[in-house]
Amino acid sequence: MAPLLVYMNEGFWWGFVGACWKLKIPIEEIPLRHRERFAGDTRIYKLVMMPGIILRNGIGLLKLRFA
């Protein structure tokens, strides 16, 4: 599976799920309870960065699909 995990920069889990789908490896989702953020802001995924992230990971998903 490792060679298929090189296409996604910020979206590792998208790539992981895509690789599992491509290799027909079943995965099961385990529900989690997330805690509310009481203070602070995200510093990773600012709105101004989202178009580039979406474009890079969309291209990565297409490369994974046709790899």
Give pLDDT tens digits for 13-41.
889 999 999 999 999 989 999 888 888 87
Q: Which amino acid is at 14?
A: W
Give helix then strand counts, H and E, for the chain.
2, 0
Hunting for tokens 């997330």 — which residue is that?
34
The answer to whether the predicted template modeling score (pTM) of the entire model surpasses 0.75 is no
Q: Is the pLDDT of residue 67 over 90?
A: no
